[in-house]
Structure 1
Amino acid sequence: MFSVNRGAFKIVEELMSNPEYYGVGVEKVEGGGTIIDAGVKVRGGYEAGLRITEICMGGLGKAYLTVRWYEDLLLPTVVVYSDEPCIATLGAQFAGWRIKVGDFFALGSGPARALSQQPKELYAKIGYKDESDVAVIVFETDKYPSADVFKYVADKCGVEPSNVYAVITPTSSIAGSTQISGRIVETGIHKLTELGFDPKKVVYGAGAAPIAPIHPKFTRAMGRT
């Protein structure tokens, strides 16, 4: 079975090997894993946001940038598609893991959820569990996770803390806004699932959504996205 964490890690390696191009920062946490910063201490950008969208989908989806008219407004738009939409979205991308360790709180999305099985009811419904010695998680936050956060995630995922890779995407950054809009297919499939539709019957998925202009204040940025 395809490993969404292994699939995502290939894209993480691409970001880490080209930090200047993607506008990201890479930091090792003593006693923990690795932070890939896409907008806290660094600029980030559309390219980082597109790759993070694909990371969230565990390597089972693609994202690209275009522009579209919305009445009289021309906006950048992310287009997302997947040939394995159930696992890519509900099994990886869905922000279904609430993580609170000390004063750190964030919603966790991405393939690490498929190791920790968060939430369990959803994974029972889609019948998927990943096996991997590396865990990739995406946090929508403007705070760096501590070593304790890495240990918590590692324990839940059954991996070593040094093998946890945390991608940080503040909502007030271009990368953050891009990856939020990149959840357009996931939003639709999750809604169908909530209405009682079997998500495993969704064979292909594609969608497009405008990318909201960013705002420096987190709450205002959340309102826009």
Structure 2
Amino acid sequence: MNSRISINALTQPLVTQLLKDAEKLHLIVEKPHCTIIDAGINAIGGIQAGLRIAEICLGGLGHVNLSNSGQGTWSWQIQVNTSNPVLACLGSQYAGWSLSHEKFYALGSGAGRILAQKEPLFNELGLTDNATNTTLVLEVDKIPPQEIIDKIVQDCHLPSAEALTLILTPTRSLAGCVQIVARVLEVAMHKVHTLHFPLERVIDGMGSAPLPPPAKDFVTAMGRTNDAILFGGQVQLFVTGDDSDAKQLAEQLPSSASRDYGRPFAEIFKDYKYDFFQIDPLLFSPAKVTITALESGRSFHAGQIDLQGLAKSFGE
């Protein structure tokens, strides 16, 4: 799916506005070399900042908001929708760029990934961009070392570090919780890709998941944000093609189709001795899905919300 849309161009106005509103959003902006926006390390950050950052992660191609579902104790939820789910979710929001130096490690999300072209996905989808400035969102609790900044500048072919903005969102922070839970649709799209369903047939999409309380440590926070999607996430995708394909996708997509489903994510992670890659990759998906076949107008449903699982994970 070749696209002439520049997610870097679409993202830049959102980043500019985030910088203008930094003080009222409880963000700290530093410019040692590149521009660094602290959304929860030394800054307070917050829910509104998280909503803005989530839309930046989506490459300016999606909307993210907060609503009340009225369902269960944890009824405040993050809602996401985009009419470009492949480009917005996989081309931008997906945390697919691995960045490490000595004891620093992070996965990069956002428009910078398409400039670096470090993932086979971009060649597969035929996605490119030639922007001269960019933004990456990192889920970290420390400022990246200069070596990481230099690597990003070089790999993205930027003229200088001044053309780079890094947004830092620790998992334990409110902003971090929001921007991670806002990946509910992206998680579904990634599993669609893993299941080898043709991505060009996914025309539109929307999703929601409950907003968990932040946690005092990384593992608990990671567990809660994952469980928000695995136990409480809902996604609807609109696809072209035969009803039989839509029905099969619906049956395969929910998190309950995984062998590892059923316990809080933090417990699963611990049992695998904190080796993320030992976890069944098919676990990472929303709890409940609806696949709507556009030609016939029929919808196929699978999975269910697990309120008890949410309560256990969120500390009730």
| TM-score normalised by the chain length of structure 2 | 0.68
> 2: CA distance between counterparts of 1:177 and 1:75?
15
Range 49-58 or range 196-205, more displaced: 196-205
Residue 171 of structure 1 and its aligned partner are, at CA, apart by 0.4
Q: Deviations over 1:123-173 (max 9, x none)?
A: 122221111001210000000112221110011100022111000000001
Paired residue type of 1:60: L
SS in structure 1 at match of 2:75: strand
- Once the two structures are superposed, the pairs formed by residues 156-167 of structure 1 within 5 Å of their partners are 156-159=155-158, 160-167=160-167
- Shift of the 69–114 alpha-carbon distance from structure 1 to 2, 3 Å rule, reads same
Corresponding position of 2:194: 194
Q: Deviations over 1:24-79 (max 9, x none)?
A: 111002xx301011111111111111111111011011101112234x31332111
Corresponding position of 2:141: 142
- Indicate if the aligned counterparts of 2:136 and 2:167 stay in contact, CA closer than 8 A: yes
- Indicate if the aligned counterparts of 1:39 and 1:176 stay in contact, CA closer than 8 A: yes
> 2: CA distance between counterparts of 1:129 and 1:48?
28
- Shift of the 162–102 alpha-carbon distance from structure 1 to 2, 3 Å rule, reads farther
Corresponding position of 1:170: 170
SS in structure 2 at match of 1:2: coil
Corresponding position of 2:91: 91
Give 5+ residue unaligned stretches, structure 2. 226-316
> 2: CA distance between counterparts of 1:173 and 1:61?
22
Corresponding position of 1:5: 8
- Once the two structures are superposed, the pairs formed by residues 1-225 of structure 1 within 5 Å of their partners are 1-29=4-32, 32-70=33-71, 72-119=72-119, 121-159=120-158, 160-225=160-225
> 2: CA distance between counterparts of 1:43 and 1:64?
20
SS in structure 2 at match of 1:35: strand
Range 167-176 or range 193-202, more displaced: 193-202
- Indicate if the aligned counterparts of 2:80 and 2:208 stay in contact, CA closer than 8 A: yes
> 1: CA distance between counterparts of 2:111 and 2:193?
19
Corresponding position of 2:287: none
> 1: CA distance between counterparts of 2:20 and 2:197?
41
> 1: CA distance between counterparts of 2:125 and 2:81?
19
Q: Deviations over 1:194-214 (max 9, x none)?
A: 000121221111111111110
Paired residue type of 1:18: D
| TM-score normalised by the chain length of structure 1 | 0.94
- Indicate if the aligned counterparts of 1:87 and 1:126 stay in contact, CA closer than 8 A: no
> 2: CA distance between counterparts of 1:74 and 1:96?
29
- Indicate if the aligned counterparts of 1:86 and 1:126 stay in contact, CA closer than 8 A: no
Paired residue type of 1:187: V
Q: Which aligned runs of 4 or more in structure 1 are off by greater than 3 angstroms?
A: none
Residue 122 of structure 1 and its aligned partner are, at CA, apart by 0.8
Give identity over the alignment, percent: 37
Quick one: higher RCO (CA 8 Å, sep 6+), 1 or 2? 1
- Indicate if the aligned counterparts of 1:135 and 1:154 stay in contact, CA closer than 8 A: no
> 2: CA distance between counterparts of 1:131 and 1:85?
21
Query: Bigger radius of gyration, 1 or 2?
Result: 2
